[in-house]
Chains A and B, each alone.
Chain A
Amino acid sequence: MSSSDLAADESETPEPHEPTFEKPGPADLVGGGIAIVLGAVVIIASQSFPRQPNVPSPGLAPSIVGGIMALCGLGVILTWARDRKRGREVEELIPSPLSIRDQVINVLAVLAVVATYILLGDIVGFPILMTVLLALLMIRLGAKWWVALIGAVATSVVIYLIFNDVLGVPLPTGWTPFLG
């Protein structure tokens, strides 16, 4: 057997990713715990739903579902405990090129946009508020200021045309009532 035969043999079934085995962190313990607690809370809360005669309790189905959820949560914790001993195959995740600080700020920015619109949408109105929020978010995510401006205005205009004019959804006009 020459070495080239061996080489050909090895290339038959390559392992594209060598599975890495790791001890899992506490995430599953927490997740499973949440499932158990949530299931239990649902079962308890379901006992106090108002009952009607001759009809099954409205708490029946939620209790069953809550029970299954708690059991599965238990299963997750047991699996986690077992994997703490023997390791678990971990998928390699591509790490983010952003720093943790940037990641967090990005997420908060996205959530802030939605929350701000919820709170101020009716007051400031869609045209101005959405344009401003979009532009700020685009800049935060790395767009050049003039790209962000054009993008934000274009998006707001297109959405306004589609939803307000074509579909008839009354988007709040707020500070720009002349656009209504």
Chain B
Amino acid sequence: MLHNLGEAFSLLATVQLVVVVLLSAVYGMFIGAIPGLTATLATALLVPIALFLDPIPAVASIISMSAMAIFAGDIPSALVRMPGTPASAAYTDDAYLLTQNGQGARVLGVGLVGSAIGGIAGAIVLIFAAPALSRVAMQFTSFEYFWVAVLGLTAAVIISRGSQLKGAISLMLGLLVSMIGLDQTSGAPRFTFGNGDLLGGISFIPAMIGLFGLSEVIRNVINPARRVKAPRMKTKGMLGDTFRTLRKYWKGMVSGNAIGAGIGALPGAGGDVAAWVAYAATKNASPNGKLFGRGKGHIEPIVSAGAANNAAVASAYVPTLVFGIPGDTITAILMGVLLIQDIEPGPGLFAENAPTLYAMYMLFIIANLLMIPLGFLAIKASGNLLRVPAAVLMPIIVAFCIVGAYSINNARFEIIIVLVFGVIGYFMERHGYPVAPAVLGIVLGPIIERNFMSSVIKTNWDFSQFFTRPISAILLSLTILVLLYPMLAKLFRRKPRDPAPADDET
């Protein structure tokens, strides 16, 4: 293991990597801090650039950027009550109310250090859980991989907010898009309409840039976020205050980390879900629970939920690297990038590519440690970050969408894809069809179909193997459980007080 560590270190100790990590962190800070721009948008725009880098720096840029963006989303939450990213939404009210009472620096300091600790906790989970799970994954054949992918996608659809039916439609759409082009099993052209460009299929990158990037711009120009003045913050004594607070609420810190790491590792559930669950758990467990979210706000949920969302971002890499099932949207995009770089997630990664893995583990820890000084700088500068006018920012994003798409193949076709999917993505979100499952479908579609086809070919249409193999059966049962989860949840959620019927006694 020491040998691997050493190799990993040499992979990391390059100037290029340090520059990449720093720049990505700054980039993540900007995007996270501006309300209306999500970490997914940031990832979408970063990918075309990351493709030009070697695998390690590419992964490093995404890890560094996302860790920073998830924290930076706390800044506008606290200052102007608008979460910079959905992951900060759970505790926006508390953060804002506390800031109004002059506690802004404390809020953000706690959020920052809490996030860093959360990220490192998630990384530790990753370091220990991943190799253990990969030993299980070694027994996987195409049947098991098929079911894991189905399980992951089902979980992603069920967990996504809003109508699950619409989430499923979105997923199916993504799967269909992935089937455009040459069939990998038989070589037959599908849905190409004789178009030479379509023969190569629709790459997930321009589709993702359109779905996450351009559609976001369209949404923003229709309903621009109001420019608000941000209050100045007193940052003297912030450090000491922060550590005192963290020590006081260490239980919330621990539970937040645990919840975040646990939920992040579930396919499809990301930082925002983890933050909400941690918030609710802390509120229930704390004697101060009633004070959360109103009046002057309370710092306790910020400690746990702030840690939870960063822990989730890190532990989302567990299913991604071990099984090739993305833990959240950011890792879905990362997986797509890895696949393009010919790094196939799965047991092979652990067996053959150990130095790469160790490098990734170290990257997590480095990125989260780096977040602390950068984050403090961001907090000090926060007033200015929010002043960028949308009228200037939106066109800049459009420019990056165009050029990013073009840079994939030096062709106009990819820009056309961005345009088309931008419009599709806007209409989808507007009518309640979440866009994330579609991206998951585009990324995972080929993997699912390939495993399905090879399973069928291997056993010559003997479908029973899909159900009788022990691990497959377990995965199948889990999938059914997840599918039924909404119905089961309704059954078990009895209201504590049934509303009194009208004809009750007075």
Contact = CB atoms under 8 A, between A and B. Distances in A.
B188 interface: yes
B389 A143 contact: yes
Contact of A94 (B168, B223, B461): B223
Interface in A55-101: 55-62, 65-66, 68-69, 72-73, 75-76, 79, 94-98
A107 B244 CA distance: 49
B188 A72 contact: no
B214 interface: yes
Interface stretch (B116-124, B250-258, B400-408): B400-408
Interface in A32-72: 35, 39, 42, 45-46, 49-52, 55-62, 65-66, 68-69, 72
Interface string B392-428: 1011101111110011001010011011001100000
B473 interface: no
A126 to B, nearest CB: 8
A65 B175 contact: yes
Nearest to B290: A12
Interface residues of B, number: 61
Interface residues of A, number: 72
Contact of B217 (A110, A121, A133, A168): A110
B224 interface: yes
A19 interface: no
A6 interface: no
A14 B294 contact: yes
A56 B457 contact: yes
B172 A56 contact: no
Contact of A143 (B391, B400, B415, B432): B391
Contact of A169 (B214, B399, B407, B457): B407
Contacts of B186: 50-52, 55-58
A114 B398 contact: yes
Contacts of A95: 223
Contact of B190 (A55, A62, A69): A62
Say whether chain B's binding surface is mostly helix, strand, loop, or mixed: helix
Given A65-B172, A156-B399, A97 B452 contact: no
B340 interface: no
Nearest to A151: B392
A103 interface: yes
Given A39-B172, A96-B224, A171-B406, 13 more contacts: A31-B431, A50-B188, A69-B169, A98-B223, A106-B221, A107-B222, A114-B214, A134-B398, A137-B395, A142-B391, A167-B49, A169-B403, A169-B410
20 contacts: A31-B431, A55-B186, A56-B185, A57-B186, A58-B185, A60-B453, A61-B449, A76-B166, A76-B169, A79-B165, A95-B223, A98-B224, A109-B221, A122-B412, A134-B399, A137-B395, A141-B221, A141-B224, A141-B390, A143-B392
Say whether chain A's binding surface is mostly helix, strand, loop, or mixed: helix
Contacts of B191: 45, 62
Contacts of A115: 419
A142 B226 CA distance: 13
B222 A58 contact: no
A97 B398 CA distance: 22
Contact of B49 (A72, A114, A162): A162
Nearest to B226: A97
Contact of B395 (A61, A66, A138, A162): A138
A101 to B, nearest CB: 12
Pick from A61, A98, A143 the residue with the most CB of B within 10 Å: A61
Contacts of B214: 110, 114
A128 interface: no
A8 B394 CA distance: 47
B410 A170 contact: yes
Given A61-B449, A106-B221, A118-B419, A138 B399 contact: no
A137 B190 contact: no
A159 B433 CA distance: 33
A148 to B, nearest CB: 7
